[in-house]
Amino acid sequence: MTKFKSKLPKVETSIFTVMSQWANECNAINLSQGFPNFKIDNQLKSFVKEGLEKEEVQYAPMAGRMDLRQAISDKIFEQHQIKINPDNEITITAGATQAIFTVFSAILNKGDEVILFDPAYDCYDPSIRLQGATPIHLELKYPTYSIDWNKVKSNINQNTKIIVINNPHNPTGAVLTSADLDELENIVITHPQLFVLSDEVYEHIQFEGKHQTVLTRNVLLKRSFVTYSFGKTFHVTGWKLGYCIAPEVLTREFRKVHQFNVFCVNNTMQYAVAKYMNETVSWREVMPFYKQKRDVFLQAMKNSKLKPLACNGTYFCLFDYSEVSSEDDVDFAKRITKEYGVATIPVSVFYQNKTNHKVIRICFAKTEDLLLKAAKLLSSSSLV
């Protein structure tokens, strides 16, 4: 076999794949991977069927269907009173992950540096390395998972090209404040070579305070790519449908890569989501829907030896198990999957340095009966 040098020699099988396989082998409740287990809205299904009946099955425009881009623009205006041009500032993507990869591909060159905050979503680092750039991992302050902006400033140099923020933050559930955006804005003003990638896929799942988006700041708006996911909002993660918002000059560069990456995204699903956004109040109902699930699960976990950390956004919550075990979190997560029948995610895998605070992540985007069953198993008096 011909030998070759791997571009990602240290990348192994995703922890999500590992824990889901472990859950299957142990016949455990899978609260590890972040996908819902409940049915989607019948009206959304009907629009998919309508799209098929109307033969909306050929290539969509490269940038995305205009009816969907217009629906997004209208939603943003209703949310934030900001006008985003659907023609040249919105691009429909194959999920937020493809949008993120496309941003890095369009902007980064060999030798550039990108600031990330650990624990970080696992697609960021390898996507940066594939461009020949270097990810600079800064750890969030534990247990609040807030950003140390002085540390950010001390790590910026002439090679720093992008700062990546994720708000609300996966895997921690932390959210940024207005003061955080003030700090970021001041940094961008001071360093004209900098761009921002703002991953806001959980924008509609924030339980505390108003969602702080870079779109509301003029300075940040001009220097940012903002990525979103319909999968998270409408419970259709398998559709891999998202979008990227950026000013026209940045969108132009983004689309240069996008057109040769996927060219366009599933036309039928775009048709369905556009109609769904135009004819329902869908996205407005997402936050209270998940807030109820969070509250039900946390209440059911009151008697567990696992201690919850703050969960202000996303459909994940973190639990500190330090009073239960001295094991590292990977071993602990695997053991409770086998012994107690609930699969979770060890948070250390989201750190470059595998920092272990003895914390696991649990997904509550599930039916309430499953959440109550899992909570009962995790509240066992024998949990050690």
Do 213 and 332 belong together in one domain? no
Structure tokens at 358: 């003895």
pLDDT over 70 percentage in the chain: 99
371 and 274 housed in the same domain: no
Residues 242 and 336 in one domain: no
**Final residue before a domain boundary, out of 253, 281, 309:** 281
Instruction: Give the range among 26-40, 150-164, 261-275, 282-296 with minimum mean pLDDT.
Output: 26-40
Same domain, 91 and 197: yes
Rounded to 10 degrees, what is the CA torsion of 149, 154, 157, 161? Answer: -20
Predicted confidence band of residue 384 (pLDDT cuts 50, 70, 90): low
Amino acid at 167: N
CA distance 271 to 239: 13
pTM of the model: 0.96
- The answer on 86 and 181 residing in a single domain is yes
Nearest to 228 by CA among 210, 213, 250: 213
Helix axes of 42-53 and 267-279: crossing angle, nearest 10 degrees: 130
Alpha-helix runs per DSSP H in 36-163 = 42-53, 66-80, 95-107, 124-129, 149-154
What rounded mean pLDDT belongs to the chain?
95
Residue 308: pLDDT over 90: yes
Whether the per-residue pLDDT at 1 is higher than 70: the answer is no
**Is 266 in the same domain as 292?**
no
Distance CA 188, CA 182 (A): 10
Burial class (CB in 10 A: 0-12, 13-18, 19+), 146: middle
210 and 348 belong to one structural domain: no
CA 190 to CA 205: how far, in whole Å? 32
Output the DSSP codes for 234-279.
HT-GGG--EEEE--HHHHHHHHHHHHHHTSS--HHHHHHHHHHHHH
The verdict on 186 and 129 lying in the same domain is: yes
- Residues spanned by the domain of 358: 15-40+285-378
Of the residues 238, 263, 281, the one at which a domain ends: 281
Q: Between the CA atoms of 52, 54, 272 and 96, what dihedral angle is there, to the nearest 10 degrees? A: 70
